[in-house]
Amino acid sequence: MRILEGPQPLLTNVEVLEHITEVKRTAASENLQTIIVELQAYLRERPAGNVGNPQKIENIAKFVAAIKQENLEFEKAEILEIFNSAPSSLAVLFCLIEEADMRFTEDQLNKVLDLSAEYLGAEPVPGE
């Protein structure tokens, strides 16, 4: 066994969820079935598979285009983290972006939260 390339490119959670859901139909070995069932359970508790409001794969491109239109410069990994986390507060957004307060104004960061609400769904909150 040799590693030729990677780890790259990064995948969003919703892309992974779509792929494993497809693989599950023909999964033949126990180890594969186990990891798929566990990972599906995990992603149902995240914005990607949020049962009431699952993310849509086509919204990745829409979200990236909207960010670009606002001239917000993010690293690719930051965009994916925002996509996976669907932040709804500045506190959470600050966790996902390096030195957010140095690079962006508060208005810009609030705009990201608006776009998150529009395209990325929400993190399921237990008990709500």
Question: Which residues of this protein are in contact with another protein, per CB under 8 A?
Answer: 1-13, 15-16, 19-20, 23, 26-29, 31-32, 34-36, 38-39, 41-42, 45-46, 77, 80-81, 84-85, 89, 91-96, 98, 123, 125-127
CA dihedral 121, 123, 80, 18 (to 10 degrees): -70
One-letter amino acid at 110 equals N
Q: Which is nearer to another protein, 9 or 52 (CB)?
A: 9
User: Is the preceding peptide bond at 7 cis, omega within 30 degrees of 0?
Assistant: yes
User: In this structure, are residues 106 and 57 in contact, taking their beta carbons and an 8 Å threshold?
Assistant: no
Return the closest-CA partner of residue 48 out of 35, 60, 62, 33: 60
Q: Which is nearer to another protein, 31 or 69 (CB)?
A: 31
Min dist. Cβ of residue 72 to another protein (A): 18
Q: Which is nearer to another protein, 8 or 105 (CB)?
A: 8
